[in-house]
Amino acid sequence: MNFARFYLPEIFNVNYGLYMDADMIVQTDITNILKEINMNDFQIYAVFNDTFENMEMNGYEGPAFNAGIYFWNLKNFKNQKIIQKIENLIIDHNKNKKWKFGTQPILNTIYYKQGKSLDYRWNLLGLGDNSKKKIYVPNQKKVDEAFVLHWNGPAKPWKTNSNYINIFKKYNLI
């Protein structure tokens, strides 16, 4: 289903869109995100908190964004026929295994050096880290200050091995 996001501009006749993964909880008025966005000229807004190296994509350098939440210009997406570029990347990847993850490297490749950054609190990562080292799990203060919590990684909030599972429980989501 992650790949279905690429066809949203084909389905909805709107100029802009906000995409969010299903493993997120919003802790604020989501319309506040619009205060950080210049609607005049942009391709995509997201939280840049990673590098291409962490996505195991050779040949790219510089910052990358986590594609769990982003605000994008759907009109430009359609006008620039980006869906064809994405489909070509998928075909090439299926033949040559260019990266480790599914849709995240595709979006970062398409919007390479074209994205604008949002405050990290719009996509607080690490709640889905179930590694023994717990490298990315944020502390309680960051969780409390975050606008959007993201359980990226294998420890999803509807599973028993999740971090901060109490947050999901308070919404009766599990």
Domain at 48, CATH number = 3.90.550.10
What's the sign of the alpha-carbon dihedral 70, 72, 78, 79?
A: negative
Is the whole model's pTM more than 0.85, yes or no? Answer: yes
Computed over every residue of the chain, the mean pLDDT equals 87
Residue 15 lies in a domain: yes
- Which pLDDT tens digit goes with each residue over 14-62? 999 999 999 999 999 999 999 999 988 789 999 998 766 666 666 677 7
List the Cα angle 136/108/106 in 5-degree steps. Answer: 105
Residue 154 lies in a domain: no
**Whether pLDDT at 162 is above 90:** no
CA-CA distances (angstroms) from residue 163 to 95, 108, 156? 36, 27, 8
CA-CA distances (angstroms) from residue 149 to 90, 124, 127? 29, 5, 7
- Domain coverage including residue 95: 2-22+29-119
